[in-house]
Structure 1
Amino acid sequence: MMLLEFIVFGSWFATFGLVLATNNLASIIGTAYTLAAVAAIVAPMLLGALGDRFLSSHKGLGIAHLAGGAVMLTLPAVVRAGNGTLTLTLIFVYMLFFQPTLGLANAIAFRHLGANKRHFPYIRVFGTVGWVVAGFGVGWLGLSASVGLFYVTAIASFALGLYAFTLPATPPPARGARFSLGDLVGAKAFRLLRHRNFAVLMGCAVLTAVSLGVYNTYAATYLSALGIGNVAGVLALGQASEVVFIVTIPLVLKRVGMKWALFLGMCMWAVRFFLFIEAAGSGDWLAVTAIVLQGICNDFFLVLAALYIGQVAPVQLAAQAQGMLILVVSGVGAFIGSFVAGEIYNATVGAQSNPAPSDWNAVWALPIATAALAAVLWALLFRHTRGQEAQPLEA
């Protein structure tokens, strides 16, 4: 499940901006990723609420991917024709189907792990492997900047959509409970924000996700501007490093605890964009180093955050709580990052007829600032005793 989930995601999302730039649609890159973030705000909590009460999680996963694959098949002709408005519309519709599946996959994994939730990183590592397979595959096929990658995504989506129906039955945990209008937006999961640590985690996740949004939006285009070839393959090195670092999570948690492991992940987001700035004048190797830091940035932020929520979220709110993480990361944080970075890009890099790599520095200053702020707030406000198990929160 995790393998296919991230083959779907990684096959197109990493170099989508480069595809748009190659087809004379560079001006809508920021808008496209911003709409993807809007979909992450609108869709996951809704499907999470339905999944908690009415729809088996594995069936919801299957339906969403089958629908998403159908949308992907329409994109190549539209992008090739240079129709920016229709491209943005289709991307938004596709992400309405796809974004909830990230939270659903996590919820399914945690549900069937039961008391063995500490093994989640070993399950999640297959998602990282999937992204690596997708990146190297797209690069090997020469599709990094081609609309042909959308066909790869569609095939993978159909494969996962069918496979999802063979997963272990995952019935709604809150079946039979009274449903309210608030459940349509997953409002009950917001009750968890009354708990200090959960609220701090969500706030810092938003700030850190600004960095993630900027990276997803412009990393591929920047690598191309530096003259680096096989962009998809180079970006896949980042996911390959995740495979290495994700298996260290249990050891790191044992040594330093949840608080400082997450602190490390937040700090490294600032470091990688500083390396992007230095790469403009010091060589491509610094940019490649920044890509490889993906392992620490993602594993010690996204994976650990999902693990923490899996430990503390009440079972009846599990899907909504995981959906909230996707909302603040791929939704709110990514929206801010993509939108603001898009404005900065269009005013700086996009305004130049022949931009230099140093013109990108203004774009990278944004994620450095937000990641640094997140790390400071996390260190000061999150309370967690090393070696102590996180206690489940009251619903």
Structure 2
Amino acid sequence: MNSTIRIKLSFMMFLEFFIWGSWFVTLGTFLASNLTASGSQTASVFSTQSWGAIIAPFIIGLIADRYFNAEKILGFLHIVGAVLMYQMYNATDIAVFYPYVFGYMVLYMPTLALVNSVSFNQMKDPEKEFSIIRIWGTLGWIGAGLLISFYFHWDSKEATADGLLKNTFLMAGVASLILGLFSFVLPKTPPKATTGEKVSISELLGLDALKLLKDRNFLIFFISSILICIPLAFYYQNANLFLSTIGVDNPTGKMTIGQVSEVLFLLFLPVFFKKFGFKRTILVGMLAWAIRYAFFAYGNSGELSFLLILGIALHGICYDFFFVSGQIYTNSKAGEKFKSSAQGLITLATYGVGMLIGFEVAGFISDSYKVADGTMDWKMIWIIPAGIALVVFLLFALLFNDKTKADAKS
């Protein structure tokens, strides 16, 4: 890959995740402060990510892989996305906001696969080259958070009270327009399938890999993947609102510690995985979810603020040790025939079904523990997902069995 293409792909990946990080992190705080949304209404908005993940395979499989170059449909989706972002910026009511955010997530989630497709198409050795490109996505997410907190100060208590958090949608919209236009100068990535080729619904959704569930261990892993996404949804939906509400300064910027942690533990994961195997690695990831939420439950913005920082920093272990090691395990169990469909099935189970359930549960718990004066019982709101994560940890520890070292370390 020549340097010009590398720079283009890196810029593409930076903007892709800069857009997402520009508005999604502060979304819970925006909905509560600007649109006075209830917990259930907030859950419905966050659930649009899950619906987008469920619908995305149809867009990729039926349209992008068959009729248009990936870079062209990437550009089209982001330009339309910029228009929807502007409408979200102007929305003053949750009923007006919801259709726009739903439409946006249906269009945005497929772009996550499209940027990967454009990147892989230019690589001779993806295992070595992709991580160098993908890390710019994490840097884009971090950059968005730092701008919001330390440059624009949109998440400060005063700015939030003045409704300035809506500017995050404007920033995301501008970045989306830039990426949309830039996409048309990306390297050509023609469709892989021919228009006459039949593609089944089960193939698009990764359902061909359902036969892997006949393996008891894989079935336990599959169910655990869905269940662990319930506490994960609490973090996405409540973390920024929680930090803002209890008076933590620059909450969005401080939450980028989680992405820095993600990069560091991603480098450490292969060593841990090779030494301790799959089961122990994924158990560490599950336990980290329970610990981080316990830190959130008992931390505060004063003398125990270090617990909140530690909880945020655990994001790298929570995400990498569970999700990345799970992808490696799925790849090893699937075999050549079902590699792609198996990964699609796990993505559908986690970001689709698991997160959809999780956001609904998080919304219900938030409404249930809202005090009479309108404040939240944050201790209980975090203790409950900590308990869920601990139960999943115990079930997986008892039921999952590493049959051989080869299975555990492949």
Normalised TM-score (structure 2):
0.81
- Structure 1 residue 106: Cα displacement: 4.7
Give the structure 1 partner of residue 148 of structure 2.
138
- Structure 1 residue 271: Cα displacement: 0.8
Aligned 8 A contact 2:221 2:400 in 1 = no
- Structure 1 residue 186: Cα displacement: 5.0
Higher relative contact order by CA 8 Å / sep ≥ 6: 1 or 2?
1
Q: For 1:63-102, what per-residue CA distance to the aligned partner results, in whole angstroms no more than 9, with x for missing partners? A: 3333222211111111xx2x11111111111111112333
Q: Describe the SS at the equivalent of 1:234.
A: helix
Give the structure 2 partner of residue 93 of structure 1.
103
* Counterpart Cα distance in 2 of 1:183 and 1:211: 29
Q: For 1:146-196, what per-residue CA distance to the aligned partner results, in whole angstroms no more than 9, with x for missing partners? A: 101111111222333344451462642687542335456554354554455
Give the structure 1 partner of residue 8 of structure 2.
none
- Corresponding residue to 2:252 among 226, 232, 235: 232
Pairwise mapping of residues 1-395 of structure 1 onto structure 2 (< 5 A)? 1-27=12-38, 28-41=41-54, 43-50=55-62, 51=64, 53-54=66-67, 56-78=69-91, 81=92, 83-106=93-116, 117=127, 121-139=131-149, 140-144=151-155, 145=160, 146-165=165-184, 166-167=186-187, 169=189, 171-172=191-192, 177-183=197-203, 185-196=205-216, 198-280=218-300, 283-309=304-330, 320-349=341-370, 351-353=371-373, 355=375, 359-379=377-397, 380-381=399-400, 383=402, 385-386=404-405
Larger CA deviation: 312-321 vs 192-201: 312-321
Q: Describe the SS at the equivalent of 1:269.
A: helix
* Counterpart Cα distance in 1 of 2:313 and 2:296: 12
Aligned 8 A contact 1:54 1:175 in 2 = yes
Q: Describe the SS at the equivalent of 2:177.
A: helix
1:148 is aligned with what amino acid?
A: N
Larger CA deviation: 371-380 vs 211-220: 371-380
Aligned 8 A contact 1:107 1:322 in 2 = no
* Counterpart Cα distance in 2 of 1:195 and 1:110: 31
- Structure 1 residue 275: Cα displacement: 0.6
Give the structure 1 partner of residue 9 of structure 2.
none
The change in CA–CA distance for 1:326 and 1:383 in structure 2 (over 3 A counts) is same
Larger CA deviation: 283-292 vs 154-163: 154-163
- Structure 1 residue 56: Cα displacement: 4.8
Normalised TM-score (structure 1):
0.84
Gaps of 5+ in 1: none
Aligned 8 A contact 1:242 1:294 in 2 = yes
The change in CA–CA distance for 1:210 and 1:256 in structure 2 (over 3 A counts) is same
The change in CA–CA distance for 1:334 and 1:289 in structure 2 (over 3 A counts) is same
Aligned 8 A contact 2:18 2:143 in 1 = yes
Aligned 8 A contact 2:225 2:349 in 1 = yes
Number of positions where the alignment pairs a residue of Structure 1 with one of Structure 2: 384
* Counterpart Cα distance in 1 of 2:75 and 2:337: 21
The change in CA–CA distance for 1:309 and 1:388 in structure 2 (over 3 A counts) is closer
* Counterpart Cα distance in 1 of 2:308 and 2:322: 21
Q: Describe the SS at the equivalent of 1:11.
A: helix
- Structure 1 residue 316: Cα displacement: 7.4
* Counterpart Cα distance in 1 of 2:310 and 2:22: 22
Larger CA deviation: 304-313 vs 148-157: 304-313
Q: For 1:89-134, what per-residue CA distance to the aligned partner results, in whole angstroms no more than 9, with x for missing partners? A: 1111111111233344456656766765376555543322221111
1:70 is aligned with what amino acid?
A: V
1:251 is aligned with what amino acid?
A: V
Gaps of 5+ in 2: 1-11
* Counterpart Cα distance in 2 of 1:66 and 1:319: 29
The change in CA–CA distance for 1:236 and 1:209 in structure 2 (over 3 A counts) is same
Larger CA deviation: 142-151 vs 196-205: 196-205
The change in CA–CA distance for 1:308 and 1:37 in structure 2 (over 3 A counts) is same
Name which one, 1 or 2, has greater alpha-carbon Rg: 2
Cα RMSD between the aligned structures? 3.2
1:376 is aligned with what amino acid?
A: L
- Structure 1 residue 33: Cα displacement: 1.2
Aligned 8 A contact 1:53 1:174 in 2 = yes
Q: Describe the SS at the equivalent of 1:150.
A: helix
- Structure 1 residue 45: Cα displacement: 2.7
The change in CA–CA distance for 1:250 and 1:168 in structure 2 (over 3 A counts) is farther
- Structure 1 residue 308: Cα displacement: 4.3
* Counterpart Cα distance in 1 of 2:333 and 2:120: 12
* Counterpart Cα distance in 2 of 1:179 and 1:206: 26
Q: Describe the SS at the equivalent of 2:299.
A: helix
Aligned 8 A contact 1:37 1:335 in 2 = yes
2:316 is aligned with what amino acid?
A: G
* Counterpart Cα distance in 1 of 2:153 and 2:49: 25
